[in-house]
Amino acid sequence: MTPVRKAIVPVAGLGTRLFPASHAVKKELFPVVGPDGIARALLHYHLLDLDAAGFEEICIIVQPGEEATVRAYTDGPDDAYISRLEGKPELHAEALKMRELGKRITFAVQHEQEGYGHAVYQAKDFAAGEPVLLCLGDHLFRGAPKSPAAELAEAWSRSGGRSVSAVNRIGPGQLKGYGTIAGTRLPDDPQLIDVSLIIEKPDVTTARGKLRVDDLGNDEFLGWFGMHLLAPSIFDILGRMIRDDIRDKGEFQLTRAQDLQREAEGYVAMEMTDARRYDFGTPADYLDAMLDFAKP
């Protein structure tokens, strides 16, 4: 089976909920203090996590004209700046690591903001027929002892080559924010769920009627965690949706493509029980996430 070695981070959204701060600086470049006390851009944590999980190549999806701005950060500082950091060993090491990571990044452009699925489709050539890990650009993830990215990469062989989405338990009040699944646990690997339906942001009645997972309570559901391991056919499916103009609420949604992929070749979800997700997409969530993420 092809190993998973490529990852995608879309950062081409409009960031309207964080206006006006997001007007001149992309939200994925906003500062976030890490548990080690170092201030990095949000996007930087994705790069470090993906590197630690063994990913070799990373594709960042940007809006037209944004590559230079993002590169100005991800390429790391120049030699003169690095020499200024020599008296600060932690920051010096950080700068050298940035330069190393920067060489493994490629960029793809989303010319129009037509939704998350449309953003992912721009990485078709980067994926080049290989499975890819997809991380929600304005979220961060943490898990111990393994990161969610590492767990998902390992799940690829357990899923038999089917896509795997990380999910976690949500209540009725959270359904409006997440893709939600129905399914049955694999008898010999109960962390994995054989998915029988995927619906984006269902209403409570639909979820209660259709989105059941065998052992969960009446008002417990499994919703997207924000990270997916996508089998290669997702790009053909997204390509067909774009060609045939199949939109939901005006956008090309990834969730629709995932459900079509499920129908065609099966789909697996992996329940994350100890891992955490931090949402940086709204002012209130940004504030909470910033304070929580900094805790060791």
Least Cβ distance, residue 62 to ligand UTP (angstroms): 8
Quick one: 110 or 180, whose CB is closer to ligand UTP? 110
Buried b (16+ CB within 10 A) or exposed e, 38-65: eebbbbbbbbbbbbebebebbbbbbbee
The yes or no reply on residue 15 touching ligand UTP (CB under 6 A) is yes
Least Cβ distance, residue 100 to ligand UTP (angstroms): 24
Least Cβ distance, residue 63 to ligand UTP (angstroms): 8
Beta-bridge partner residues of 251? 248
DSSP string, 4-61: P-EEEEE--S--GGGTTHHHHS-GGGSEEE-TTS-EEEHHHHHHHHHHHTT--EEEEE
Site pattern 63..102 for ligand UTP (x: CB under 6 A): ----------------------------------------
Among 73, 116, 126, 178, binds ligand UTP (CB under 6 A): 116
Binding to ligand UTP, residues 135-194 (CB under 6 A): 136-138
Q: How many CB atoms are closer than 10 A to CB 220?
A: 13
Q: Hey, CA dihedral for 220, 211, 194, 55, is it positive or negative? A: negative
The residues, any chain, with a CB within 8 Å of residue 286's CB and separated by 6 or more, are 18, 30, 280
Binders of ligand UTP: how many residues, by CB under 6 A? Answer: 21
Q: Which residue is nearest to ligand UTP (CB)?
A: 13
Among 4, 7, 8, 12, binds ligand UTP (CB under 6 A): 12
List residues binding ligand UTP (CB under 6 A): 10-17, 28, 61, 110, 113-116, 118-119, 136-138, 281
